[in-house]
Amino acid sequence: MIRGVRGATTVKKNTEEQIVSSTKRLLEKMIKENNISSEKVSHIWFTVTEDLDAAFPAKATRLIDGWQFVPVMCAREIPVPDSLPLCIRVMMTAETEAVQQEVNHVYLNDAVSLRPDLELTKRKGTR
């Protein structure tokens, strides 16, 4: 079955180093928590809030061994008033045997506020 695996994180500053390193950490956690190999991934879609323009978060994918050929795309989030700033969101589409309730969506840093329902039900510490 093809499933979407969601993730999000925030950075403190709009710098290439923070955007790429935070995105890499997020991707690695999404991969680990869902036991995903690059060969099972159809594509990864990244979005960023309007206050992030120092780097493409998709660059982080190329830094993970074996993930260089996964198709990636970046876009801007809709600028909703009062939305979470300095935020990177990810939608990874992958083949998995997991049912929807077993998919581990990963939210790090201030992005945990985006899905408090998942934070409370999963309780794995550094989501």
Catalytic residues: 6, 62, 74, 77, 89, 107, 115
Least Cα distance to 104 among 83, 84, 124 occurs for: 124
Distance CA 4, CA 43 (A): 10
Facing residues of 45 across strands? 73, 91
Contact 117, 18 (CB under 8 A): no
